Amino acid sequence: MAKRDYYEVLGLEKGVDEQAIKRAYRKLAMQYHPDKNPGNKEAEEKFKEINEAYEVLSDANKRTRYDQFGHAGVGGNGDGGFEGYSGYGGFDDIFGDIFDMFGGGFSGGRRRNGPQKGADLKYELGITFEEAAFGVEKDINVSRHESCNTCSGTGAKPGTSKKTCSKCNGSGEVRYAQRTPLGQFVNVKTCDVCHGEGSITETPCKDCGGTGKVMKDKKIHIKIPAGVDTGSVIPLRGQGEPGIKGGPTGDLYIVLRVKPHEIFQRDGTDVICEMPITFVQAALGDELVVPTLDGRIKYKIPEGTQSGTIFRMKGKGIPSLRGYGRGDHYVKVVVEIPKKLNDKQKELLKQFADEMGEDVHEQRKTFFDKVKDVFGI
């Protein structure tokens, strides 16, 4: 019988990349694997055909020869096919999904019921703008599992003890020998009686239900450094969930959320604030009392200050988280225009306008000169 085209066997078009070939192979290999189709000769033949096609198309040199000369370019039989498997790379990657599907692994593999690190915990903490800038110390309450005091963490009722699982003899694993086209493998599964624990609690502790752990609130003191911002994370090693079977305790991660400030905004280590001033202050200049993180500070602005002008107060911003000094404090002044004027005030302003004259409004004059140039009016 003539061999089918290898691309057709894997359901692919010519020109596909290596990942597409691997995905197609995995899907078909899992579908027609002999362990999933015991006694099905047709499935076994398809499985061999799939592996033969993959061995050629997954090898760049073989694939090139196959694309040019067809089956003749690879010896007419795919250089051995599945029966002639000779150890191409990525065995665990290719077959891992298949053996995971059957719940197994290779003999001598890593035990799954050994010591494991406890789960990590996350705690979101809100702090003020000033606390983020200068640092603060806080006490927080974290709910986490801890060893049960009643049974000392064994899970067994006081006065009783756990018994070794008779099915797995305390290993937590059950091994089955399986014969496959690849040879004989030892399929390792978690014991379904003790669920991988290796022991059985016949009389569980009433306080923890046999788990050996109870949920408790733990007060933890933390130090928040100066310069943190929203999204900053403070790791506390060993403050998470307890480990399993003697494994290390997990970690606690404090995620900070800085509350918005009523006056200040932040840009890195710089602080920005917008401050209203009167027309008279802008025109004549004045000594302002500026709010900063260090309190109120006097700052003199010159006469003729324009609305939107930004003044810099060096070193009055937020301390660097790395300890390299402080940012700056920027004050943006905004001239407030009175919305309600009495008759006397209006008259005084008109007299002021007459006194000033148009020729002194240099910016206004320049603007209208540009309008004339553009529109010719």
Report the alpha-carbon distance of residue 107 to residue 326 in Å, rounded. Answer: 60
DSSP state of 319: B
Residue 103 identity = G
For the chain, give the mean pLDDT: 81
Report the alpha-carbon distance of residue 234 to residue 221 in Å, rounded. Answer: 12
pLDDT tens digit sequence for 139-158: 999 998 888 888 888 888 88
Alpha helices in 83-142 (DSSP H): 91-101, 129-134
Whether 89 has a pLDDT exceeding 50, the answer reads: no
Among residues 336, 314, 338, 337, the alpha carbon closest in space to that of 327 is found at: 314
More confident residue, 367 or 198: 198
Whether 370 has a pLDDT exceeding 80, the answer reads: no
Two structure tokens written together for 165: 């699982």
Q: Hey, what domains does the chain have and what are their CATH numbers?
A: 6-101 (1.10.287.110), 121-258 (2.10.230.10), 264-335 (2.60.260.20), 343-375 (no CATH)
Flag whether the pTM goes above 0.85.
no
Q: Is 273 annotated as a binding residue?
A: no
Among residues 13, 91, 21, the alpha carbon closest in space to that of 50 is found at: 21
Q: How many CB atoms lie within 10 A of CB 47?
A: 22
Q: Is 165 annotated as a binding residue?
A: yes
* Contact by Cβ (8 Å): 188, 172: no
- The HSE-up count of residue 50 (CA atoms within 13 Å, CB side) is 24
With H, G, I as helix, E, B as strand and everything else as coil, classify residue 15: coil
DSSP state of 172: S
41-57 and 60-69 helices, crossing angle to 10°: 100
Two structure tokens written together for 182: 């690849």
Report the alpha-carbon distance of residue 95 to residue 178 in Å, rounded. Answer: 15
Report the alpha-carbon distance of residue 64 to residue 39 in Å, rounded. Answer: 36
Q: Is 168 annotated as a binding residue?
A: yes
Cα→Cα distances 129→21, 126, 221, 242, 287, Å: 55, 10, 20, 34, 27
- Per-residue pLDDT averaged across 27-42, rounded? 86
> φ, ψ for residue 269 (rounded to 5)?
-100, 5
Which residues contact residue 36 at a Cβ distance below 8 angstroms, ignoring those fewer than 6 apart?
30, 43, 101, 102
- Per-residue pLDDT averaged across 173-190, rounded? 69
Report the alpha-carbon distance of residue 52 to residue 32 in Å, rounded. Answer: 14
pLDDT tens digit sequence for 262-321: 999 999 999 999 999 999 999 999 999 999 999 999 999 999 999 999 999 999 999 998
Cα→Cα distances 13→7, 16, 21, 180, 255, Å: 6, 6, 10, 30, 49
Q: Indicate the pLDDT class of residue 199, thresholds 50, 70 and 90.
A: confident
Q: Indicate the pLDDT class of residue 66, thresholds 50, 70 and 90.
A: confident
- Per-residue pLDDT averaged across 311-337, rounded? 93
The C-alpha torsion from 160 through 165 and 166 to 169, rounded to 10°, is: -120
pLDDT recorded at residue 197: 77
